[in-house]
Structure 1
């Protein structure tokens, strides 16, 4: 009867995992209880008690009844007690092993350590009972060692692993004596020895573990289900040995073991997650040594597979997250994709959050988190990242035993963090502490070539910093010694070799500076060429600062040809980093590294006599974001639609997807889904562009802008690329045939920055005075006077620094129109209002716009598109936004004047001018007029914009629109032409955004403008454009000169003619009446708006 009940109980027990029905579990327990009541033999009775122990334990964890936990342990105790009465006739290893191992496994999954400890006590009783029966002990000893190992995996107490090793050594000793040695025993022994090695770092334990695990693999029979676990753990120990020896053969052997294990397991196998994790670790290390991107990508896929698996327990998840974070950080350094860096940081934070703080792995996960925080700090310059990293690195060192294999790595990274903090605050204590730690790591890492190479490199970096402070040549020799030793220990294919060459280059350059010996200069240039050629492809993140420094050195000694080469490497590296980014904010991060480089590269090219290449650099290596937008949305595909509408539709669809992705915030991006979708869209667009280029007539479709295209764009008016560098300025004047260089030696970067700092500060003081309720009228008047004086100062300086020379040159050539393409910080200034004294002029000054009708453009490519739109779209209808918040007194009159020039006009006034209403209406009108408040956001340019009813219309909103039929936008608001100061070469502003969105021409302002004078200026602009038929650039120029030069009396007469009693009405009567009244009380002979503040803020960008 016992056997029948036992079979019935087993059936219910087997059905329960699928059904999850509590009745199945209860029925199984009832059946085994009945079997115990009707014992057939002692062996079955013991087995039934063990099964009941398992079932009670299972029900306890299902419903939480404490009595079930007690019953589980009581049945296990009874099994031991019954056995003790029949010890001479039974083999407990066979009787107990399956049930006990299952119970142990359940304890391992649930983490209820108290139950496991009580079970261990019972197992130890069994071992004592069997002391006289050695042939029966091995299986039980292995089981007991397993229990202690599991206990160690939860408590991490060294004593538990010592107990496990003691039992394993007894089991193996007995097994070898009796000829019963098993693969399972050697496997468990090897795992326990490795756990002890992780605590003490003793090489004898590591070697013994490797031998035991190799024996386990050798003893395993074909088809053994445990063989993948043996292979995985053997690979782990060989990998540990590699970490000490740096022998690539050990690494290859570890990867081979991991790969065999993975190949043996089904994707759903519970052990597969550990195999995937370990294989990924090995591939990552091989990538670091040999640089194979295939290894890196396979490792990332394996980690993502682990994290998606239902079989991954918290330990697996923590390990996979940490490995994924390391892999993504490695991929970031190889390609510079900021999304990888951010998601790598998130993965490391998850690893730390999941891991048990008592685990030896916890310190390692902390160390990895600290390392990636330092990487992000080097890019975003946010001190909170570095300070968090330092705290974390200290904690990781504190939690790591000095004998641990990872201790020196953690020390090394702590020193790295301290050295970085020293470079910010110049605290000598941080520098000296980092040197002390590096020396300690070098002293103790003699067994590992890899760690020794890294620690010597880092020691060299710290010593070089000390040399920079004290200029001691003896110290420089020690720097070189450290770098050279690191070089001798580093494989040629290693990813750190190019960085190391750059460091050696720094030493060679210092030797040249000290001695003047040309051999050092030649060696330096060769080393930097070698480092740049390979490093910009394999390690662009770290090699870029070294290449930029090289370019600066060569520029300082006016070695223009070598400087040109170094700048070319810099630009290639930045382009590569830019192209790999998926999100706009990440693109901007790398573009910040490019600021000023195109100007300096063009300057070097010009000094070499190659002005054509200089112009191509200025055209194609700036304004990347705008060029990318033109690539996605500005392509002229209308002629292709007639023959291949499918390609045109695909192009539009992919472009829309990319726009949506690139404006996404990072925290809304899912690593495995959205990033893959973004990458896929990028690849689709690239493939489609290539497909279009194979169609007749589209060979040059969306290629980089050529010199021929630039000359073509300059046909209506020459283009003037303006450059400022530390060495001086240049103007590249491009007409339809040639490029002419005009040196502007006085326009240096330092002079510009000094003038601009004063200009911006006085503007800020003035705006603060106007908006502060506690500022009295006298203080406001003083602030206004200071701001006006500063505006006079900087515009006068602009004339003397080079704009005057430019005007004279253009006038001498008979040129009256020109398009300014200012680079860098020049884009913040009203270049058209540069002036010199002229007693014969009505104002006593001659301004640049008196000589040349200047307009502006970000680059020739956007201007060419604007020219095409202007030819295609007629300015027939107007959409106007009028004073959404009701604060502009002259807005209604201004809008009336604007609307009067159009047969069709729609005005959204006051509360009607909501963001949604404006966005919906914009595509239907070729001319747009905004009379409202505007502002530039210098911290986040995309959030700058125009005030509407109940919200703002931001630059980010504008960039999301594609206005293919918009001829002109007039942004009669404050600061709508001000560009981003952090990325000046990108010309990011509302005006530039309008061009990027498809509008052909934009009138915008560079500062906060006067309400009345602006309304008058706009009235005159529309008068000249729509009624006199002038082009927008000439109309704006005419309006500015009119506002500036006409006396108050002349303005009265002009507006008087528009009043109802006069027949020749040019303006709406109500507007004319308001404008007339604003000047009627002023002195007729004075010019109320003569100062540049009133008229110079407005520019025309585009055509």
Structure 2
């Protein structure tokens, strides 16, 4: 009588016990003398049991075990079993790559998918390995083939994503438009899960197109789509967290374009909710925390509260510490931290440039980021950021070697990405800082191109206008060119008007530059215009501050603008307005001090200390005349 096991029945029974590693491993031990096809099926099932345990949070040892069992199965598998075995091996290797960022695992996954002939999985993995170049082109070819043969939306979304990747590299508008069309197709589904993924992909693509072309309809559609897929308030799943994070990013884009104050606060709230999701992977969690820090940084620039910037620096620091050294995200996150540290340095020492620990650490982090980034598409951005750090250190030390190294960084960044407005803008400011006439002419050329390449609605546009105005003004004065000076005036005016909508801190910086440049040439009417922009920006910043120290930090910058405004108004014969300008900063501080005192006195009276309030007010009445 044949006592050999009924392998088909044994495998079927093991599959019915979800996640039973023990059952599968016992079956694998029994199958050691079985035919290859049986052993391949059993080893594959054992690998699957371990992989499911890993996905359920049981630990990395299960992932390593899964890969080991899948490899044993792949070594003996033959068609038709081999296709499934190699696909499963590829999935497990991709999972380990997600956890440990070992490029060898991604390469091995690609080899496994090639053995399986799985166009969709192979195309997806190639897309991950190469965000540009031959890998990406091959991924698009494979995914296009997968779309032709598939009935479900997933291959369509993968192809659309690959086209977006290629657009990010070469700026091909046709790829972007095709990606939008494909995502629309993927979103036309009745399956709830596929609908969420399709709507999210379409919204992402529309947001990219808005940022590139500035069409309001694209932005409005993107936000509507993100709103449609928002989860219930109590949903703490990873999918819910990513949905909140996506909407937050779109709200920030709308706030940059239109200046809606509520969008910024809601975005920060959404990011905060998303970061509290317990089901996020470590990579997802640090990614969202990185977004939290960026939004806090944005709010600092919008409202000037140094507490927001301090929290952004602390959050960026935590993100960097939690990012593995092998992670492809490390370079970008180091760069973000370095930029925030440099920003805090600039706002701390803006009236008296000097070296600070923040600036020293910033440049060190920039160099770490450049080393971590290697020879990747991110290198140009990292060079640009290091250049900014070196330029800032030149402002503190006056060392022209620092400035020349900064210019080299900017030139290398522009060579790699000649149509990136940020790199052109920064190259322009560094060239202008050297002060040579020929370099000033190059600075104006680079700055004009930066402005021309930037959509008027994005946050950086007023800054680029300001830097163009500075270069035009200096070159106009150097060459005694009235036409350049007139253009500079118009650029200063436009920059201030736009910055006042959403970035009053930038408007205040611009007003300071304009009033200083025009004041040196005794163009009093322009100085008065700059003063009025500065006064409006100061009021906007002070009105949203809580801490007096924050108010004073902005008022100290405004003081110079008010002094020049006072001189200009006096020069134009408006003595009354000149007197008002001279007292504006002092009056704002005094009114803020009195308001704080009133609130504190009310709290003191409510606490049952009315006698102290009476004594205080009596003393205040006796001393108040000394303030007049």
CA drift of 1:142 comes to 3.0
Is 2:246 the counterpart of 1:299? no
In structure 1, how many angstroms separate the alpha carbons of the residues matched to 2:220 and 2:123?
A: 15
Q: Which has the higher contact order (CA 8 A, sep 6+)?
A: 2
Deviations 1:219-268 (A, max 9, x none): 8995657536854895699699979x95678x959995994697186634
CA drift of 1:48 comes to 5.5
Equivalent position to 1:432, from 404, 423, 432: 404
In structure 1, how many angstroms separate the alpha carbons of the residues matched to 2:417 and 2:527?
A: 40
Distance 1:290 1:965, change over 3 A: closer
CA drift of 1:1000 comes to 1.8
Asked whether the equivalents of residues 222 and 250 of structure 2 are also in contact (C-alpha less than 8 Å), the reply is no
In structure 2, how many angstroms separate the alpha carbons of the residues matched to 1:599 and 1:216?
A: 59
In structure 2, how many angstroms separate the alpha carbons of the residues matched to 1:280 and 1:201?
A: 34
How many residue pairs get aligned? The number is: 585
Is 2:617 the counterpart of 1:966? yes
Matches within 5 A, 1:281-300: 281=249, 284=252, 296-300=264-268
In structure 2, the residue matched to 1:385 is 358
Equivalent position to 2:414, from 442, 450, 453: 442
Equivalent position to 2:70, from 115, 123, 128: 123
Gaps of 5+ in 2: 147-153, 159-184, 350-354
In structure 1, how many angstroms separate the alpha carbons of the residues matched to 2:275 and 2:124?
A: 24
Distance 1:272 1:625, change over 3 A: same
Equivalent position to 2:549, from 579, 585, 590: 585
In structure 1, how many angstroms separate the alpha carbons of the residues matched to 2:516 and 2:489?
A: 13
SS, match of residue 586 in structure 2: coil
Is 2:517 the counterpart of 1:553? yes
Q: Which structure has the larger Rg?
A: 1
Matches within 5 A, 1:409-808: 409-446=381-418, 449=419, 452-466=420-434, 468=435, 472-631=436-595, 634=598, 656=603
In structure 2, the residue matched to 1:372 is 340
SS, match of residue 495 in structure 1: coil
In structure 1, how many angstroms separate the alpha carbons of the residues matched to 2:378 and 2:224?
A: 22
SS, match of residue 360 in structure 1: coil
Equivalent position to 2:54, from 94, 107, 118: 107
In structure 2, the residue matched to 1:46 is 11
Deviations 1:970-1022 (A, max 9, x none): xxxxxxxxxxxxxxxxxxxxxxxxxxxxx12349xxxxxxxxxxxxxxxxxxx
Asked whether the equivalents of residues 67 and 92 of structure 2 are also in contact (C-alpha less than 8 Å), the reply is yes
Equivalent position to 2:129, from 196, 207, 227: 196
In structure 2, how many angstroms separate the alpha carbons of the residues matched to 1:924 and 1:630?
A: 19
Equivalent position to 1:78, from 9, 15, 27: 27
CA drift of 1:277 comes to 3.3
CA drift of 1:543 comes to 3.5
CA drift of 1:547 comes to 1.3
CA drift of 1:565 comes to 1.9
CA drift of 1:509 comes to 1.5
In structure 1, the residue matched to 2:107 is 162
CA drift of 1:434 comes to 1.1
Deviations 1:494-541 (A, max 9, x none): 222211121121222123322333333322222211111122333322
Deviations 1:908-937 (A, max 9, x none): xxxxxxxxxxx999x747xxxxxxxxxxxx
Asked whether the equivalents of residues 210 and 237 of structure 1 are also in contact (C-alpha less than 8 Å), the reply is no
Matches within 5 A, 1:231-250: 231=198, 246=212
Distance 1:195 1:599, change over 3 A: same
In structure 2, how many angstroms separate the alpha carbons of the residues matched to 1:209 and 1:241?
A: 24
Distance 1:545 1:1102, change over 3 A: closer
Deviations 1:82-135 (A, max 9, x none): 398366689959x967x855632432565844442232121122234431x32x
Asked whether the equivalents of residues 476 and 485 of structure 2 are also in contact (C-alpha less than 8 Å), the reply is yes
In structure 2, how many angstroms separate the alpha carbons of the residues matched to 1:85 and 1:220?
A: 47
Equivalent position to 2:622, from 1001, 1004, 1007: 1001
In structure 2, how many angstroms separate the alpha carbons of the residues matched to 1:568 and 1:237?
A: 40
SS, match of residue 279 in structure 2: coil
Is 2:156 the counterpart of 1:215? yes
In structure 2, how many angstroms separate the alpha carbons of the residues matched to 1:210 and 1:628?
A: 62
In structure 1, how many angstroms separate the alpha carbons of the residues matched to 2:297 and 2:501?
A: 16
In structure 2, the residue matched to 1:402 is 375
Distance 1:142 1:283, change over 3 A: farther
Distance 1:656 1:314, change over 3 A: farther
In structure 2, the residue matched to 1:337 is 305
CA drift of 1:416 comes to 0.8
In structure 2, how many angstroms separate the alpha carbons of the residues matched to 1:552 and 1:137?
A: 74
Deviations 1:884-919 (A, max 9, x none): xxxxxxxxxxxxxxxxxxxxxxxxxxxxxxxxxxx9
SS, match of residue 559 in structure 2: coil
Taking structure 1 as the reference length, the TM-score comes to 0.47
Asked whether the equivalents of residues 236 and 254 of structure 1 are also in contact (C-alpha less than 8 Å), the reply is no
Asked whether the equivalents of residues 254 and 263 of structure 2 are also in contact (C-alpha less than 8 Å), the reply is yes
Q: Which structure has greater strand proportion?
A: 1
Distance 1:286 1:632, change over 3 A: closer
RMSD (Å), alpha carbons: 4.3
SS, match of residue 237 in structure 2: coil
Greater mean deviation of Cα atoms: 393-402 or 225-234 = 225-234
Distance 1:543 1:169, change over 3 A: farther
In structure 2, the residue matched to 1:145 is 90
Asked whether the equivalents of residues 207 and 219 of structure 2 are also in contact (C-alpha less than 8 Å), the reply is no
Distance 1:483 1:522, change over 3 A: same
SS, match of residue 595 in structure 1: helix
